[in-house]
Amino acid sequence: MADVLLLHHALGQTPSFHAFADELRAAGHNVVAPDAFDGRTFGDLDEGLAYAREIGFDQVRERGVRAADGLPDWLVYIGISMGAMAAQQLAQTRPGAAGAVLVSSAIPLGEFAETWPDAVPLQIHGTDADPFFVGEGDIEAAHELVAGADDAELFMYPGDSHLLVEVDPNPDDPNIRLVTDRVLEFLRRV
């Protein structure tokens, strides 16, 4: 059983996000899922990103980082898209990280720390035609992180979906099940 801090994407805490968190809980993991958007959700990525800009991306990231205050040190940080910023920062800078899972996002080394911490397992997920993950360079950061970690996996999936755990608008995407299964396996071994 792992203790998990799960940080949401730019759509907010959608039903699919809650379903993902519930699936982790059903497997016996303790999941804390703070809401950086104060209850707001969006059906469109552009709307969610506009709201994040309004709040300020640094403020959204900082809300995720502050969510770890008072939680045990031995946490697995899981961040989906925008939530990966805080998850990665916490995994690289907060002592005692048990592991990190970054979905559809990765930040270059040097942004939060110069290296990936020793003995902190890492798993990264993305699609091979994601306009953000591949098109905006996160894939290069993902390769850099994986190369610098002792225990790391990078999983690439076919397609252009950015929100790999979001059923709506991707109800038939087989990647959703595969990502969830791989995250559950990761949590079993950390």
Please give the Cα distance from 61 to 59 (Å, whole number).
5
Per-residue model confidence (pLDDT) at position 174: 84
Q: Residue 171's pLDDT is what?
A: 65
pTM score of the predicted model: 0.96
| Mean pLDDT per 10-residue section of the chain, whose length is 190 residues | 97 94 97 97 94 96 96 96 97 97 96 95 96 94 96 95 77 84 97
The residue extents of the domains of the chain are: 3-189
Give the per-residue pLDDT at 63: 97
Q: Measured over all CA atoms, what is the biggest interatomic distance in the chain, rounded to whole angstroms?
A: 39
The pLDDT value given to residue 162: 86
Q: Which CATH class is domain 3-189?
A: alpha beta
Paired tokens of 76 = 């697995």
